[in-house]
Amino acid sequence: MLRTLGLFLMAASAAGLGTPAVSQPASSSSAASSAAGSGASLFDEQCGSCHTVGPASDPLAPTLKGVFGRKIAGRADFAYSDALKAKGGTWNQQTLDVFLTDPASFAPGTQMYAGAPDPATRQAIIDYLKTVQ
């Protein structure tokens, strides 16, 4: 599935569809499919330096595979900050939106200091995270 997605993304970027959707008018159906692809590339650009969506967490950051619907700070293979462990609840549209708007406001003391403050970028990334189950 990841391999398929990767090949799709390579094909999409070869076809010029890898341009971030935020810079394109959202007026045609091709813009919509481009937005789906760009969630993955935005993730790679803005989150991929720390996070993967692989089966296991990296020492740097928890894997985000299956994060949508997962308990906050819920992976046994990552040493979360006390701040995030104390939050409780699950990652859903609302919690991800608030966290990624400003991680330090959501969980003061979190080790994640960079979010995705731009709303369109943030939503494209959240939509992408829903697909990596």
CB of 19 to ligand HEC, least distance (A): 18
User: Least separation, in Å, of the C-beta of 111 and ligand HEC?
Assistant: 4
Residue 75 or 130: the one with the smaller Cβ distance to ligand HEC is: 75
Q: Are 41 and 13 in contact (CB under 8 A)?
A: yes
Which residues are near ligand HEC by CB under 6 A?
Answer: 46-47, 49-51, 61-62, 64, 67, 72-75, 80-81, 83-84, 91, 96, 100, 110-112, 114-116, 125
Please say whether the beta carbons of 83 and 107 come within 8 A. Answer: yes
Question: Whose Cβ is closer to ligand HEC: residue 40's or residue 84's?
Answer: 84
Closer residue to ligand HEC in complex, CB, 29/82: 82
| Measured distance CA(94)–CA(111) in Å, rounded | 20
CB of 79 to ligand HEC, least distance (A): 7
What's the distance, CA 43 to chain centroid? Answer: 5
